[in-house]
Chains A and B, each alone.
Chain A
Amino acid sequence: MDNIDSNEKLLAMPPLAVDTEEGLARFAAVVERTSARPARRALPAFAFARPAKWLAAAAGIVIVATTLTMTGLADTILQIFETKQFAAVSVTTTDLQTLDQLTQFGTLTWSAQPNPRPVASLAAATAETGLPALSVTVPASLTGGPRYGVLPRTTATFVFDAALARTSAAAIGRTAPPMPAKLDGSTLVFSGGPAILVTYGDVNHGGGTLMVGVAKAPTVSSDGASVSEIQAYLLAQPSVSPALAAQIRAISDPSSTLPVPIPVGQATAKNVRVHGVTGLFIGDSTGLGSGVLWQQNGLVYVVGGTLTEAETIAAANSLR
């Protein structure tokens, strides 16, 4: 036993912080560089094939941002939010961190993590999702593709938890505003998908990219507490900046407007007309990438990539 004790002291090591994402990026780069895979895959990969963690985090931020906007819903037992249009909400890096942390006011549970995967053909994608086929005019400068991916329908349940909110606030030395008793334990159900994403271009060799997506419009259901109480509570948090709160309060039709966080200094957004409806155009600050979102007949469409504004709008309007 003496041996074991003294050995354990020798073998003890300082705790290690391992960056798996960095490790994976490095690994992928080595595999790419050494051509450790066949030159062409029978089933080409899909832009969203592996971002479960990233997509879940992004979806979580949008979900919480959506929660913040639902002030217009009446105080009834069950209400539904359905995405009919989009509103740009300028957010700072601090805001994004805050939005992420808002899940500490309750527990977010996915029915299944958003887990997109590649499929062999557009026919397979439409058969699997029940969504219409997408056809788009691809800029002549793009070579490669199309590649197809699907995201099955996913739901997430958020349950407010007063004790968790107190613990979370205490952990960072703050006192959270008291959660209304009616809110404690109330549940929101977020639904997203199914979705299809089609990608063109050859990113592996520095070429341009075009992504075209369609999804069933995301919805939110609420039980228990009124959503005006939810909004009042969340916007009262000291970690929500007044600027962000003001933008959210200003959304005129919060029961059908999906707020889209736009990082300040990195991207800009404006309304554009696409297929006769109002869409939200997002461009990056360098002009190297852009995208447009719109909703039509219960479906949300997205077109974007390493394209100029004119190319993106043209591609969006060519969508059939």
Chain B
Amino acid sequence: MGAEAVALIERRWTRSAAISTAFEQLFQAQYGRVVRIAYRVVGDQAEAEDVAQDVFIAFHRSQPAEAPYAAPWLHRAAAHTALNAVRSRSRRTAREERDAAVRVAVGDPEGAALERERAREVRAALARMPRGAAELLALRYSGLSYAEVAAATGTKIDQVGTRLRRAHDAFRREVVRGQHR
């Protein structure tokens, strides 16, 4: 048995000792979606992965992995936690500045600066607008279906379209407001 195989089995063993089969299956199925929801809000993959870890830790500590509401719980929590992160900003400042410096140094400085400005505008608008509306946009634009958005937000599916349109209006108002600051 090669060292890599032993190491792999040990990692699996360690992991399986820490978390249940049902939980790992849930993680495998939902981690990507949770990261994408958070990414839509925070605009940075590493930060989105931090948020996803927080979300899964919170779920693991408080909810059974087999819960039928697990997926919508995670989706909603991803949007909520990501918005908290953007609003507080404290946890991201150092890395953002470091990453920005690297991007400017190695790539297209002008393009990077514009992209960073766009991402900042989006985050700022999401942070200022009503939380429910911001969560709705984050969920929808991370690829969730209307049915999944409805489940995550506790909304009737036939109301999702209307709420999304209102959320778009609120987002636009905040973007415009931000541009005039």
A: which residues have CB within 8 A of B? 3-4, 6-8, 10-13, 16, 18, 20, 23-28, 30-32, 36-37, 41, 44-51, 53-54, 117-118, 199, 203-204, 209, 211, 263, 266-267, 282-286, 288-291, 304-306
A11–B17 CB distance below 8 A? no
B14–A18 CB distance below 8 A? no
- B21 CB to nearest chain A CB (Å): 6
How far is A247 from B181 in the complex, measured between Cα atoms in Å? Answer: 72
Is B57 close to A, CB under 8 A? yes
- A156 CB to nearest chain B CB (Å): 20
**Contact string, B109-144, partner A, CB cutoff 8 A, digits 1/0?**
000000000100110000000000000010001000
Given A10-B175, A50-B21, A282-B2, decide whether A24 and B28 contact each other with a Cβ distance below 8 A.
yes
Residues from 28 to 55 in B contacting A, C-beta threshold 8 Å: 28, 31-32, 35-36, 39-40, 43, 45, 48-49, 52-53
B61–A36 CB distance below 8 A? yes
A3–B168 CB distance below 8 A? yes
A25–B171 CB distance below 8 A? no
B: which residues have CB within 8 A of A? 1-6, 8-19, 21, 24, 27-28, 31-32, 35-36, 39-40, 43, 45, 48-49, 52-53, 56-57, 60-61, 118, 121-122, 137, 141, 165, 168-169, 171-172, 175
How far is A47 from B16 in the complex, measured between Cα atoms in Å? Answer: 7
How far is A289 from B8 in the complex, measured between Cα atoms in Å? Answer: 12
B12–A48 CB distance below 8 A? yes
Interface centre among B1, B24, B45, B175 (most CB of A within 10 A): B1
Q: Which of A36, A44, A54, A305 contacts B12 (CB 8 A)?
A: A54
Q: Which of A3, A27, A203 contacts B13 (CB 8 A)?
A: A203
**Dominant SS among interface residues on chain A:** mixed
Q: Which of B18, B43, B60, B169 contacts A13 (CB 8 A)?
A: B43
Q: Which residue of B lies closest to A10 (CB)?
A: B122
- B169 CB to nearest chain A CB (Å): 6
Q: Which of A32, A44, A263 contacts B2 (CB 8 A)?
A: A263
A–B pairs, 5, beta carbons within 8 Å: A8-B141, A18-B49, A23-B49, A36-B61, A37-B19
B52–A267 CB distance below 8 A? no
Residues of B within 8 A of A48 (CB): 9, 12
Given A288-B6, A306-B6, decide whether A10 and B18 contact each other with a Cβ distance below 8 A.
no
- B138 CB to nearest chain A CB (Å): 9
Residues of A within 8 A of B16 (CB): 45-47, 49-50, 118
Given A23-B53, A30-B57, A209-B6, decide whether A16 and B45 contact each other with a Cβ distance below 8 A.
yes
Given A26-B53, A28-B18, decide whether A54 and B6 contact each other with a Cβ distance below 8 A.
no
Residues of A within 8 A of B3 (CB): 266, 284-286, 288-289
B169–A3 CB distance below 8 A? yes
Given A266-B3, A290-B1, decide whether A209 and B10 contact each other with a Cβ distance below 8 A.
yes
Q: Which residue of B lies closest to A11 (CB)?
A: B141
Residues of B within 8 A of A20 (CB): 27-28, 31-32
Residues of A within 8 A of B12 (CB): 47-51, 54
Q: Which of B21, B43, B171 contacts A117 (CB 8 A)?
A: B21
B9–A31 CB distance below 8 A? no
A45–B13 CB distance below 8 A? yes
B21–A289 CB distance below 8 A? no
How far is A283 from B1 in the complex, measured between Cα atoms in Å? Answer: 5
**7 cross-chain pairs, A with B, having the tightest CB-CB distances, nearest first:** A291-B1, A267-B2, A304-B1, A45-B16, A289-B6, A284-B2, A49-B16
- A34 CB to nearest chain B CB (Å): 8
B13–A47 CB distance below 8 A? yes
How far is A304 from B171 in the complex, measured between Cα atoms in Å? Answer: 59
- B112 CB to nearest chain A CB (Å): 13
